[in-house]
């Protein structure tokens, strides 16, 4: 029990005994006091445990997800993945029956969510039981004892969804001798050129194609994929996001583009297209092979800032992608329910803009 909890309990005890003396004590009232104090201890300890919890889990409601476990890994300094992923996790659990766990970048000195702390994401051991990983990190340099869980997950050839900065999810600058430095976005290691982004997701970080902070992204659905009734595009037609189009080179072999991105002349959904700039892929599928020979499905989108998820069709694309990645595409609803649960007031992207002094349970 922490110091603040002990102080609260002592205060409750003193107040209760004082009230007991004023009214005259009986065995019955002593029993009530004992029960009251026991309840307080249990409540305070439960509150302390919740406060100390470094991740959140949404238990599944009834749905076709059948309790499959999706682990969503946040940790970026700019696009508020710590806000976006709890929203997505809640939708997946409430409407679709998946169990979801959201991990956060935690400052170990404060116990608070701190996306600018690059070296700590507690709870990655949840990947050992995960059926799907959704990753939205940026330039992380995790310690080997944490990174090993991601490496083991990939070795098993399990499915992956990468969002926005996941193309440059890792950047090893301090511990270049780590066996996981090959995951760096700028890796030159043989067969890992371009790191996790290029090898697993299909592309690494290159540059902003759109004018960052001034141009949004109009999603252009690939008509060929739509005409072929690709299950991920069911109910998806109108995508516009605040985050700009990322530059992509030629995507790795075997990639299928589902959505192209056109930069827009402004940061509103009705902004015109910037016809001076080419369209580039902003959502695609690919695959990779784990060390055990298992082929894992991969969906990547360079959209996904927390404010982007105000767009209903982007939320639907992401939910559909979870079904597809898990080879459950036959169960994708004609129009997946992606209604926002409660209030959702996302923070505009930007450095240093994250909400301070929050713990994971604040997002639950």
pLDDT in tens, 103-144: 999 999 999 999 999 999 999 999 999 999 999 999 999 999
C-alpha 106/C-alpha 65 separation (Å) is: 29
Q: Compute CA distances 163 → 60, 80, 137, 174, whole Å.
A: 23, 12, 8, 25
Q: What is the mean pLDDT of residues 5-10?
A: 37
Q: Does position 44 have pLDDT exceeding 90, yes or no?
A: no
Output b/e per residue, 250-284; b: 16+ Cβ within 10 A: ebbeebbbbbbbbbbbebeeeeeebeebebbbbbb
Please report, rounded to a whole number, the percentage of residues in the chain having pLDDT higher than 90.
84
pLDDT grade, residue 23 (50/70/90)? very low
Q: Does position 99 have pLDDT exceeding 50, yes or no?
A: yes
Domain boundaries, the chain: 3-52, 56-331
pLDDT grade, residue 333 (50/70/90)? very high
Q: Does position 53 have pLDDT exceeding 90, yes or no?
A: no
pLDDT grade, residue 39 (50/70/90)? very low
Reference 217, options 145, 281, 170, 290; nearest CA is 281
Per-residue pLDDT reduced to its tens digit, 335-346: 999 999 999 999
Q: Compute CA distances 301 → 205, 245, 258, 281, whole Å.
A: 12, 10, 10, 8
pLDDT grade, residue 364 (50/70/90)? confident
H helix or E strand, kind and range, residue 308? none
Is 51 or 249 the better-scoring residue by pLDDT?
249
> Out of 20-29, 81-90, 151-160, 235-244, which region has the weakest mean confidence (pLDDT)?
20-29
Per-residue pLDDT reduced to its tens digit, 278-320: 999 999 999 999 999 999 999 999 999 999 999 999 999 999 9
Q: By the 8 A CB rule, do 267 and 324 touch?
A: no
Q: Compute CA distances 249 → 19, 138, 199, whole Å.
A: 74, 19, 14
C-alpha 347/C-alpha 326 separation (Å) is: 30
Q: What is the mean pLDDT of residues 136-155?
A: 98
Per-residue pLDDT reduced to its tens digit, 182-235: 999 999 999 999 999 999 999 999 999 999 999 999 999 999 999 899 999 999
Reference 349, options 267, 239, 261; nearest CA is 267
Tell me what pLDDT residue 62 has: 86
Q: By the 8 A CB rule, do 347 and 354 touch?
A: yes
Q: How does the average pLDDT of the chain come out, rounded?
A: 89
- The CATH architecture that domain 56-331 belongs to is 3-Layer(aba) Sandwich (3.40)
Please give the model's pTM, rounded to 2 decimal places. Answer: 0.86
Q: What is the mean pLDDT of residues 223-248?
A: 96
């Amino acid at each position: 029990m922490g110091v603040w909890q002990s102080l609260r309990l002592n205060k409750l005890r003193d107040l209760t005994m004082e009230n007991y003396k004023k009214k005259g004590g009986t065995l019955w009232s002593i029993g009530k006091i004992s029960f009251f104090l026991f309840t307080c201890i249990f409540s305070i300890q439960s509150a302390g445990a919740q406060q100390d919890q470094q991740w959140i889990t949404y238990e599944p409601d009834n749905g076709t997800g059948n309790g499959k476990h999706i682990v969503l890994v946040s940790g970026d300094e700019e696009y508020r993945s710590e806000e976006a992923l709890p929203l997505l996790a809640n939708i997946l659990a409430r409407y679709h029956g998946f169990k979801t766990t959201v991990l956060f970048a935690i400052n170990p000195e404060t116990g608070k969510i701190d996306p600018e702390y690059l070296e700590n994401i507690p709870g990655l051991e949840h990947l050992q039981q995960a059926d799907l990983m959704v990753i939205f990190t940026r330039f992380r340099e995790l310690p080997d004892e944490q990174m090993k869980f991601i490496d083991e997950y990939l070795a098993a050839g399990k499915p992956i969804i990468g969002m926005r900065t996941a193309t440059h999810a890792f950047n090893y600058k301090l511990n270049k001798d780590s066996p996981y430095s090959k995951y760096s976005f700028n890796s030159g290691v043989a067969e890992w050129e371009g790191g996790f982004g290029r090898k697993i997701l299909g592309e690494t970080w290159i540059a902003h194609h759109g004018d960052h902070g001034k141009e949004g992204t109009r999603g252009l659905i690939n008509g060929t994929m739509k005409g072929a009734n690709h299950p991920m595009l069911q109910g998806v037609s109108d995508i516009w996001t605040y985050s700009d189009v990322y530059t992509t080179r030629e995507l790795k072999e075997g990639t299928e583009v589902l959505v192209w991105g056109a930069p827009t002349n402004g940061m509103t959904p009705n902004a015109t297209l910037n016809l001076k700039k080419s369209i580039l892929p902003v959502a695609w599928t690919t695959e990779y092979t784990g060390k055990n020979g298992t082929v894992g499905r991969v969906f990547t989108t360079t959209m996904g800032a927390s404010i982007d998820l105000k767009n209903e069709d982007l939320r639907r694309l992401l939910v559909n992608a979870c079904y597809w990645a898990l080879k459950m595409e036959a169960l994708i609803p004609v129009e997946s329910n992606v209604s926002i649960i409660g209030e959702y007031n996302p923070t505009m992207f930007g450095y240093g803009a994250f909400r301070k002094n929050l713990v994971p349970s604040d997002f639950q």
